[in-house]
Amino acid sequence: MIKKNDEYRIDLRHQMRGGNGEVQIEHLWKPETELKSKTRLAARLTLQPGVSIGIHPHKEEEEIFYIVSGEGLANDNGKQTKLSAGDTMLTGGGDSHSIICVSTEEPLVIVAVISEY
């Protein structure tokens, strides 16, 4: 199955997980109809400068962040780390994470996948 860039459903989340600003979520594949695995989210997230996703845990699931472009400051279960294009972060097993776009001129673009176990 192929999906073109202009075919994704887009949602805007205000103060996502208690964060700041508005996160744009482009759903790459729909878990309920297109994905057969235990995937809860497969999306491209866009955070403008200063926008964040608040700290939250992942229990009985894992989330992978792949940084496509921009710069972010991640909180990985209490440890602060700057992330940029090509970096990844894995959170699961009850651990928590958050991220903020610290780029001054370009958005932080992340591919995020959440799978349940």
Span 56-84, pLDDT tens digits: 999 999 999 999 999 999 999 999 999 99
Tokens of 104: 């001054």
DSSP state letters, 63-84? EEEEEEESEEEEEETTEEEEEE
87-100 per-position pLDDT tens digit:
999 999 999 999 99
- List Cβ neighbours of 55 (8 Å cut-off, separation of 6 or more): 17, 18, 75, 96, 97, 98
Q: What is the pLDDT of residue 70?
A: 98
The domains located in the chain, with CATH, are 7-82+105-110 (2.60.120.10)
Closest CA to 114 of 92, 99, 85: 92
